[in-house]
Amino acid sequence: MRIGKKFSIIAILGLLLVLVLSACQQTAAPATEAPPAQPTAAAAQPTEPPPAPTAEPVTIQVYYPVAVDAPIADILKGYADKFHAENPNITVEPVFSGGYGDVQTAIQTIIDGGGEPPALGVMLATSLYDLVNADAIAPLDDYINGMDNGKAYMDDFVPAFMENSKYDGKTWSIPFQRSAVVMYYNKDMFKQAGLDAPDSWQAWADAAQKLTVKNGDTTNWGLQFPSGWPYWLFQPLAIGNGQNIFNNDCQVAFNDPKVVEAVQFYIDLSHKYEAMPKGVQAVWPSAPTDFASGATAMIVHSSGSLNGILEQANFDVGVMPYPGKEAGTFASVPGGGNFYILKGAPQEKRDAAWKFIEFVTQPEFVADYSIATGYIPNRQSAFDTDAMKAYLEKTPQMMDAFNALQYAGAELSLQDLGEVRSIFHDYLQKAYNDEMSAQDAMDAAQKDAEAAMKPFCE
C-alpha cells in the first residue's frame, strides 16, 4: 500500500509537469520568428521628409549701360536686392559702363584675354550677328522651352523689339531696355509762334527756322540733332523718305537716291534754313538739358530720356515720331538693349542669369522700369498693370513714344555690324562737315561697306 501511494504521488507530479510544459510551448514564439516590434511614441507620429539640400551659392555679374538721363544704376540695384530676397543662393552684381558700345568692348576684351566673361550683359539688340559670329553668346531656346508658359511669355514682347532677337532658327536675346527715336518739341513755343506740330520735312524745316532766335553771340536753335553717334538718329530721316539704309543682313542701301536725299536734308537744315548748328553735333548728353532749359525748341533723341526731360522742363513737352518727307507721313526706329547670356560663363552662372531675366521681365518690373526711366515697356502686359495705367494718365507722352513704333523701320543690324556701322558713321560725318558731298560720301560708304561684308556674305 505504501508503494502504491508513493507511485500515485509521483504520477500526479509527473502529470502536472507535462501540463506546465505544454502550456509553455503554446505561448512561446517559435525560435525562427522574430517577435513583432512594438511601436514607440516617436514612431507613432508621422515623420517629416528630410530638408531639401540647399542650392550652392552662386554670384553672377551683369554688365549694364547707363547712357541716358535716368537713375539706371539705383533702379537695377533695387531689382537685384528684390531678386536676392527670393533667390538667397544667387547674388547679382551689376557692373555699369557708359554706353552699349562700352559694355560690348569690355566683355569682348575679357573674352579675348582668355578670362571668364560675365554671365549676363545688356548690349545693343543690333549686335546680334557680331556676337553670334564671335561665338560669344548662348542661345536661350532651352530655357524658354523649359518654362511652363514659354510661348505666351515670348508672344507678350512687343513685336518691334523682337526683330533682332532671332537668327538661324534660334532665340539669342530678350528685350529689356528698349526705346525709340522720337522728336521732343516745346509745345508752348509752338503755340506762341502759331505753329502746329510738323507733319512733313518742309513743315519741320519751316518750324525750326521760325523758332531759331539769335541774340548777339547767343542762338536759341529751333532744332538740335545730336550726331556724335549718327546712324541711329539718321535712320528715321531715310525711312521717312521711303528707304531704310539697309535691305537685309548682307545688303546696305547707303547710296540709294532716297538715302542721299535724306543726308542732304540734314545739311539743308543748317545751311539753307539756318535752323540748327552746322556739322556734327556731339551733344548727345547735353541735348535733353538744352531742350528742358529752353535753349532749343526741338531735339531728336531717345525715348529713354523722357523722364529726365519731364522732370526738368517747366513747359508742355510734346513727343512724336519724325515728320516724313511727304505731308502726313512719319518715321521712327527702335533702339536700346537686350539681355544676352554669355557662352563662356559656367553653366550654373548661365542658369542663374536666366532666373534673373525671368524675374526682372515680369510685367510689374517692366512697368516700373518704364515709369522710372522713360524707356518703352517691352512687354504688352505691362500696360495692363495698375501702375502703368496710373502713370499714363499723368504722362501721356509715354504712350506717344510707344505709338511712334507703328512708324518704325528696322534698326540697322547686319553682318560685320561694328565695321559697317563705323564706315557709315565716318562718311556720314564727312558729309555733315562739308568734307564730302552727300552723294560722294554715300557712294564711298556703300563701296567700303560691301567690301567689309563680303567675307561674311559669300
DSSP result, 322-364:
EE-SSTT-EEB-EEEEEEEEBTTS-HHHHHHHHHHHHHHTSHH
For the chain, the farthest-separated pair of C-alpha atoms sits apart, in whole angstroms, at 162
3-class DSSP assignment, residue 222: coil
CA-to-CA distance for 178 and 338, rounded, in angstroms?
A: 8
**Cell of residue 26, nine digits:** 503554446
pTM equals: 0.80
* Residue 114 backbone class (left: φ over 0; alpha: ψ -120 to 50; beta: rest): left
- Number of Cβ within 10 Å of residue 400's Cβ equals 17
Residue with cell 525671368: 358
For 363, residues 6+ apart whose C-beta sits below 8 A from its C-beta are 379, 381, 382, 384, 385
* Class of CATH domain 180-334+411-457: alpha beta
Count of helices and strands (H, E) across the chain: 19, 15
Q: Residue 256: what pLDDT?
A: 98
Distance from C-alpha of 181 to C-alpha of 335, rounded to nearest angstrom: 7
Give the C-alpha separation, 445 to 132, whole Å. 25
- Asked if the domains at 58-179+335-406 and 180-334+411-457 fall in one CATH topology, the answer is yes
- Please tell me the total number of residues recorded for the chain in this structure: 458
**Which CATH code for domain 58-179+335-406?**
3.40.190.10
Task: Enumerate the β-bridge partners of residue 58.
Answer: 90
Report how far residue 194's alpha carbon sits from residue 207's, in angstroms, rounded to the nearest whole number: 10
CA 109 to chain CA centroid, Å, is 22
Q: What is the pLDDT of residue 67?
A: 60
Compute the C-alpha angle 289/295/301, nearest 5°. 50
User: Distances from the Cα of 457 to the Cαs of 169, 391, 449, in angstroms?
Assistant: 18, 46, 12
**Residue 294 falls in which region: left (phi positive, over 0), alpha (psi -120 to 50) or beta:** left
Domain boundaries, the chain: 58-179+335-406, 180-334+411-457
Q: Write out residues in the chain with pLDDT < 70, as ranges.
A: 1-54, 67-70
Q: Output the pLDDT for position 198.
A: 98
CB within 8 A of 196, min separation 6: which ones? 190, 203
Q: And the C-alpha cell for 169?
A: 532658327
Would you state the pLDDT for residue 45? 45
